[in-house]
Structure 1
Amino acid sequence: MKIFTLPRIIKFLILMIFVPIIIIIFSSRAAVKEINIKPKIPELASLNTLKPERSESILNLPAKIPLVNIQKALNLNIPPTFVGTEADPTDLLSNDKLTYEINRKDFSIGTQNNRITFSVPISGTARIKGKVNLGFTKIPVSARTNIAGEIFGDLSLGIDNEWNIQPNLNVSTNLTKADVPIKNVGTINIRSLLKKQVDKAINKEKPKLIAELVENLNLKAEVTKQWNNLHLSEKVNQDPSIWIKTEPQSVSFKEFDLSDGENVQSGIAIKMFVDTCICKEAPVINLKPLPNLTFQEQIIDKFLINLPVQVSLDELNNTLQSKVSGKSLSIDENLKFIVNEINLSALGEKVLVQVDFKTDKGNLLEGAKGILYLWGKIFYDQESNNLKVVELDYDVDTKNALLSTADSLLKPVLLKQIEERLSFPLDKELNRAKDEANEYIQKIKLPSEIDANIEVKTIEVEKVVVTNNDIYLVLLADGNMSALLNLEDRE
């Protein structure tokens, strides 16, 4: 009979207790190593269009009508020479007759008190024939004299809400020299007589002159053409297919201003709806006829337009790799979640976050590895100017895989730490977006007669959307849109 000593018994008991534990530990470790989480890749149908974004803009058309145009109209329509014959013009002579010829030079134009002023020197000759009644006899006389003076006046312009130009024209004559010397009688002043005749001749021409001015200042015809041409639909980007549509809505008018001394100035503000969309076909344009005018003191050139600018997912993912690749996240004091790689993709209206990971429990235990699929929403944080993915949650297949194999990875603290790292500064993106916005706008083919200047000054992110499997910043581009509508002289 073999007798066990006490030390041997103790060793035996130790082996009986710890060897199974060691075996269990190593078998558990081997089991954990085998956890490989590979859920099915989520699928979601993509959307084809981005809902049209509407903004309201104002096209400022400062209208300049050079005063030289009005000067030409005056020179063309007021006769260069006034001639006439008057019988019995004065009581100082009997059987008298006055003949005259008055020539004018070219009109000169000026402004005063917001009125157009004009003047022109005149000169000529007059001859009077008749008989001086001396009571006992009548003596025939014939005398000639030189005439000097000026034609002068002013013109003010108005317009009614139906686009009718309303000129108010005043013309008068001032003669500084028109006295006929009559021998043995004295001097006969014929200035008032000649003034009356010249004013009469000019007033006879006024309707023609006013008609010429109205035609020369025909804003309605010009604005109607530009109004119709401003119903635009332009494709400004090929891939994705981005369209910009403009539809004018109303017209405001600033009263005529002559303060620069060289032009009749005004401002025409055309308020427009500007729609942008990511769509395959050109948006339908609703043609609206030119409406009646409204009036305002100031015309602004505020230009606002919502523009979708595509965010580069490649750039976001490159940024992610530099931030998180190889970094570990703490789920609890014993479990580390190590990120191998994170990639974002857009599906439908959501963002899919794919996380390639492994876990590390330290000591003898390593944990699991595999892929997690998380859904999130895109969000723009205005305060930090960062683009973020928020409201993360597990895809259904991912959650089911974790429930059966590694439920410790379902702790909210892990989602929170991943979400904190899905934040992207937009400074570079916005600079690029501003350049793209300017490029889009330059492709809007405004009427060729309008020398338009459209420039984006600042941009703000209105919202961020996910559509057509891409992420877009919908920007509010703020700038100026003005153009010169120069009504040239019509021959």
Structure 2
Amino acid sequence: MEIQSEKHKSVVNLPIELSIAELSKHLNIQVQGLIYEDNDKEEGFRIKVWKRAPIVAEARDSLLFYTVPLKIWGEKTFQVLGISNAQATEFQVNLKFMTRFGVDPDWKVRTQTVSAGFDWVTKPSIKVAGIEVPITGIISRKISENLEKFSKAIDDNIRGNFVVKPYILQAWNLVREPRLLSEEYRTWLAVTPTDILMTPFNVRNGKISATLGIRGFTQTLTGEKPTIKPVTDVPNLIITPDVPNGFQIGLIGVVPYEEASKLAATQFIGKTFDFKEGKYKIEVTSVDIYGQNDKLVIKAGLKGSINGIIYLKGIPYYDAKTRLLSLKNVDYDLNTRSVLVQTANWLLQGRFAKQIEQQFVFPVGAQIEEAQKAIRQQLTTRKVAKGIDFGGRLDSLDPDQVYLTPTSLVALIVAKGHVEIKIDGLL
């Protein structure tokens, strides 16, 4: 099995935050001066509306509430004894709205703003023939008739300026960029994203927030840096109540068979083993190693009480405590066992295979430590673009499996942690 095919499903978290204070600031910049004017000739009524103070936004019950302070000038034309007489007045009201946020699968921001009524600050009245005439009824009706227009204007403003997709595309390409884990071993971390998840928007603590998760496969590759071309689009959004947290990376420790044979030769060649209280003795004259299916084969040359070549097989595994590649269940292969039963049964009954198992170890800790150090360095919080911060942490290293490729012993250690790309300042 090729280690390059080993992949781990992971999620990169992308908390998105929009400050309500920033949104209010943006709305106040957009809404300036005269914001509404109407001339109802049939009723003989004219009205002009200005923003008199900054728009205030606050979060309550997962909704965004706005208060829009207005100054209104109104003029009513009356007929008195056949003579037209226009009387003007000024007054103040606070319009109230509430907005619910969402994002459609095609990444368009969806807002639903509805009126929450209005409060009088000062009530309008005019004097006709010296008599004060309240006109709150007609003013209330005019305001109510236009609340839907105001709601639509707020929605249009937010949708036109609250842009998400360009940031997601930037984060998507950032995730896809290969990261160097080890220059010495030419090891790269590659992430292949598959889809994007998102929780519904939440409004609290002065922010409009949601969590996105770019889900995909992580793997470690050896060799030249993989060539990844930036993409120009991202998949449709999947809305989910919860975005999983955490990533997994398969770190690899590689021991080529040639190197393993050299290490084993240093350990065993020239070493003498005795059996039956010294009655039989053998000396190891050569050692060679190669993989066969899921087992490591040890080809050992012997001289002494028996001369020739024997073959042992064992299952390789990574010992997290010692950070060594080791063997377990070492035993003679069937052909060797068949011959020894007839010619050297004492070797079968001895501890030779067990001693080989105990002493047959290869250090890969330095490689894993270097990769671990590189990951932690890559996860250091830093700003990678305007409005985008990248960071994370490494929580644990867990042994996974040892694979035998055509040329090497490869220990796979799963690094688990948390990766976060924070997106802010969407306006």
- Give the Cα separation in 2 of the matches to 1:409 and 1:283: 58
Closer, same or farther: CA 417–368 of 1 in aligned 2, 3 Å: same
453, 476, 479: which one pairs with 2:414? 476
- Give the Cα separation in 2 of the matches to 1:156 and 1:368: 87
Residues 115 and 156 in structure 1, CA contact (< 8 A), matched pair in contact too: yes
Matched, 1:180 2:125: yes
Residues 67 and 96 in structure 2, CA contact (< 8 A), matched pair in contact too: yes
Matched, 1:55 2:8: yes
Pairs within 5 Å for 1:176-215: 176-182=121-127, 186-198=131-143, 203-204=148-149, 206-215=151-160
394, 412, 415: which one pairs with 2:352? 415
Report the secondary structure of 2:422's partner residue.
strand
Please state how far the C-alpha of 1:154 moved relative to its aligned partner: 0.9
- Counterpart residue number, 1:119: 67
Pairs within 5 Å for 1:93-104: 102-104=50-52
Instruction: Identify the structure with the greater strand proportion.
Output: 2
The alignment-based identity, stated in percent, is 14
Residues 273 and 282 in structure 2, CA contact (< 8 A), matched pair in contact too: yes
Residues 309 and 474 in structure 1, CA contact (< 8 A), matched pair in contact too: yes
- Give the Cα separation in 2 of the matches to 1:118 and 1:467: 64
- Give the Cα separation in 1 of the matches to 2:122 and 2:60: 27
- Counterpart residue number, 1:24: none
Residues 328 and 337 in structure 1, CA contact (< 8 A), matched pair in contact too: yes
- Give the Cα separation in 1 of the matches to 2:47 and 2:398: 78
- Counterpart residue number, 1:290: 234
Matched, 1:72 2:25: yes
Pairs within 5 Å for 1:418-433: 418-422=355-359, 433=368
C-alpha RMSD of matched pairs (Å): 4.7
Give the alignment's TM-score, normalised by structure 1: 0.67
Deviations 1:314-353 (A, max 9, x none): 9x959x96xx9999755113436588x9998754664657
Residues 249 and 288 in structure 1, CA contact (< 8 A), matched pair in contact too: no
Structure 2 unaligned regions, length at least 5: none
Please state how far the C-alpha of 1:191 moved relative to its aligned partner: 2.6
- Give the Cα separation in 2 of the matches to 1:421 and 1:102: 86
Matched, 1:224 2:169: yes
Report the secondary structure of 1:462's partner residue.
strand
Pairs within 5 Å for 1:357-368: none
Q: Number of residue pairs matched? A: 411
174, 189, 203: which one pairs with 1:258? 203
Deviations 1:269-304 (A, max 9, x none): 111122323345737889795322222111122201
- Counterpart residue number, 1:362: none
- Counterpart residue number, 2:371: 436
- Which letter maps to 2:368? A
Please state how far the C-alpha of 1:407 moved relative to its aligned partner: 5.3
- Which letter maps to 1:70? L
- Counterpart residue number, 2:396: 458
Give the alignment's TM-score, normalised by structure 2: 0.75
- Give the Cα separation in 2 of the matches to 1:479 and 1:460: 11
Residues 458 and 477 in structure 1, CA contact (< 8 A), matched pair in contact too: yes
Report the secondary structure of 1:106's partner residue.
coil
Deviations 1:220-260 (A, max 9, x none): 33323433454344554344333333221111110000122
Closer, same or farther: CA 419–108 of 1 in aligned 2, 3 Å: same
- Counterpart residue number, 1:160: 104
Closer, same or farther: CA 50–84 of 1 in aligned 2, 3 Å: closer
Residues 58 and 300 in structure 1, CA contact (< 8 A), matched pair in contact too: yes
197, 220, 244: which one pairs with 2:189? 244
Which deviates further from its counterpart, 407-416 or 60-69?
A: 407-416
Structure 1 unaligned regions, length at least 5: 1-46, 90-95, 359-366
- Which letter maps to 1:162? D
- Give the Cα separation in 2 of the matches to 1:232 and 1:273: 13
